A and B are shown apart, each in its own frame.
Chain A
Amino acid sequence: MAMTTYREAVRAALREALLKDPRVFLMGEDVGKYGGSYAVSKGLLAEFGPERIRDTPLSESTFVGAGIGAALGGMRPIVEIMTVNFSLLALDQIVNNAATIRHMSGGQFSVPLVIRMATGAGRQLAAQHAHSLEGWYAHIPGIRILAPATLEDARGMLPTALTNPDPVLIFEHQTLYNVEGPLADDAGAVDIDHAAVRRPGKDVSLITYGGTLGKTLDAATTLAAEGIDAEVIDLRTLRPLDMPTVIASVKKTHRVVVVDEGWKSGSLSAEIMARIAEEAFYDLDAPMARVCSAEVPIPYPKHLEDAALPQPAAIAAAARQATGSRTS
């Protein structure tokens, strides 16, 4: 078991995929000579050459469309988009083509495309590079949405996504790339169907994913010192949602706090709460709560960015409120 970073884990996954399957290639802005805007693909151009590590023009619609075409043609493309904000230029290709072609062709064509992109805030990249729009994509039938939050998932979700016959979008939170930790030497493919209980507990379910998992676990540690035993659920797959795992947790703790860096309005967090209300209403022993980003474009100044994002103190406070009389 060696120490590694999230960035290195994603790179290892890419390298393995390129080595194992000649149909796999990586395409995106600055993935080649520059080594990736988050340095994920550093060294891959030298190892695999420009046929398989392809720099593209700054035209998301074009190169995502090219990826869809390649997938239809039998390749296994991995398309990297620099951030989720830029993916909006490719929304038409993703929502109108990638997500629909199996349906529109009556099942004749499939689009085995993997799109990776950075999401989220926390590194002072300001409002055009820092939003969390994965919840929007989770609205769309026909695509699978993954949010690896751990080294194991950074290493293991990509190979499984590549075996999926339909488009898979992988959202890598920009604050995670530098996270370092031990990863098993034989770490490999992981399942992309289920949520994971990252910390078992009995008093309140903290439901989160991606970039806020670490903050939520920090909050759970604080709460534990106060005698509140929080369970932390990592959704992992945002579409389709693994509701059985969520509901099982709610039936155990009876209290819910959803932590999501997306905004509240019309959001994934709202969807999760709605489903809990539908499926486990009589198990709720407190109003459900959310800790989300402030409803503003993500600010640039550090102190304002911190204030706009979910933080461990706010998560702990929401959990205390949900557990009622133990509010300190």
Chain B
Amino acid sequence: MPMLGADMEAGTLVEWLKHPGDPVKRGDIVAVVDTQKGAIEIEVFEDGVLETIVVQRGAKVPVGTILAHIRGTGPAAAIVTPAATPTPAGMPRPAVTPAAPAPPSARARVTPMARKLAADLGVDLARVTGTGSGGAITHDDVQRAAQAAPAPVDRAAAMRSAIAAAMARSKRDVPHYYLSATIDMSAALAWLHAENEKRSMTERMLPAVLLIKAVALALRDVPELNGHWVDGAFRKGPGIHIGCAISLRGGGLVAPALHDADHSALPALMRNFQDLVARARAGALRSSELSDPTITISNLGDQGVDSAFAIIYPPQVAIVGFGRISNRPWAGAGGIEARPLVTATLSGDHRATDGHRGGMFLTAVDRWLQTPEKL
């Protein structure tokens, strides 16, 4: 069970899309897992054959639980069974220490038949009352539970509590520093306007994509902001995967990743961004999109705010905030004039970086936005 967010503790296996014996390759979607952030598609990162399914449909298991075994394409590793170590002939066998009496089992009494049916129907045995021999949960008990309407899950409340946990943890554990810079968007918007003139309505790009790309390229210059704080040390991200904070219609938000944003051309980035927003709102995100972001952008320009000082989403070490792009007075070469300006902010984890690095980053974002043709 992958951790699909810093605050995630457990997930429920909703559906297996591959079955034992099926070949799988890197990137295949093998299962769907339900989390506080909705149903997430689980990808595999190895080529091989799905050998055994360990966690059955309907089971809720903690993060880190093995969901299934995939046999790789390499030669099979020897299975080490310590218990089978032969005792050399003539050697006395070590005395067997009698095991301490097991504590009373907390495991519910469920008949084999009932357990199988519960797995088949996706019934949570914790919600089933046993009426069988010795109070055991029987086949009929599971069937009754399956027929009873499932208790409605308050998704909005669950997500609210997930956000609360993550943000409280961040404010408790992460010493934030905050920087802001006002950036002149004249060149970027002029270039974008000209570029969009050449495009059909459906292919036109939004200023937000320029901001994303500028952040991605600036992170190449300041890689110390791109990655995770794990076990008391910074780990550089394996790529520049930009989490985009997307508010959901039912309340709450998610911040799935645009993978390798620094390598994506603007039109592709635009398409990927639109796709991401659509899928986030439809609840069809992939596991890697939720677990991979190396930094997050929170763009609240559409809400009309001037600037956004965001809270870092652990274990990331920085979050970039953008306000709205609006015409404001600007002291240029020709004196005071109205120009489209945007306020970019950086919330940085002071354990990982200092304000000096953060300042260099905002400067780099500004520089990239002055040469939009290079984005």
Contact = CB atoms under 8 A, between A and B. Distances in A.
Interface string B174-201: 0000000000000000000000000000
Interface in A297-328: 321-325
A159 to B, nearest CB: 42
B121 to A, nearest CB: 14
Contacts, number: 41
A321 B115 CA distance: 20
B56 to A, nearest CB: 13
B113 interface: yes
Interface stretch (B92-100, B126-134, B312-320): B126-134
A283 B133 contact: no
Interface string B108-149: 000111111000000000000001111010111000000000
Contact of A254 (B115, B131, B134, B139): B139
Contacts of A284: 111-113
Contacts of B131: 324-325
Given A285-B138, A286-B138, A325 B132 contact: yes
Nearest to B134: A287
A254 B133 contact: no
Given A324-B131, A325-B131, A286 B116 contact: no
Interface string A274-287: 00000001111111
Contact of A282 (B116, B136, B140): B116
B115 to A, nearest CB: 8
Interface residues of A, number: 13
Classify chain B's interface size: 10 to 19
B134 A285 contact: no
A321 B139 CA distance: 16
B300 to A, nearest CB: 55
Contacts of A287: 111, 133-134, 136
Given A254-B139, A324-B138, A282 B113 contact: yes
Contact of B133 (A281, A282, A322): A322
Given A324-B131, A325-B131, A283 B136 contact: no
A229 to B, nearest CB: 15
A195 B370 CA distance: 90
A324 B129 CA distance: 13
A282 B111 CA distance: 8
Given A254-B139, A286-B138, A324-B138, A281 B112 contact: yes
A321 B132 CA distance: 9
Contacts of B136: 286-287, 324
A282 B114 CA distance: 8
A281 B134 CA distance: 18
B13 to A, nearest CB: 19
B114 to A, nearest CB: 6
B15 to A, nearest CB: 22
Q: Choose among B115, B134, B138 the residue with the greatest number of A CB atoms under 10 Å from its CB.
A: B138
Interface string A83-109: 000000000000000000000000000
Contacts of B116: 282
Nearest to B109: A287
B131 to A, nearest CB: 4
A321 B112 contact: no
Given A287-B136, A325-B132, 8 more contacts: A282-B112, A282-B113, A282-B116, A284-B113, A286-B133, A286-B138, A287-B111, A324-B132
Interface of B: 111-116, 131-134, 136, 138-140
Interface of A: 254, 281-287, 321-325
Give 4 closest A-B pairs by Cβ, nearest first.
A324-B132, A325-B131, A286-B133, A285-B113
17 contacts: A254-B111, A254-B113, A282-B113, A282-B115, A282-B116, A283-B113, A284-B112, A284-B113, A285-B132, A285-B138, A286-B111, A286-B132, A287-B136, A324-B131, A324-B132, A324-B133, A325-B131
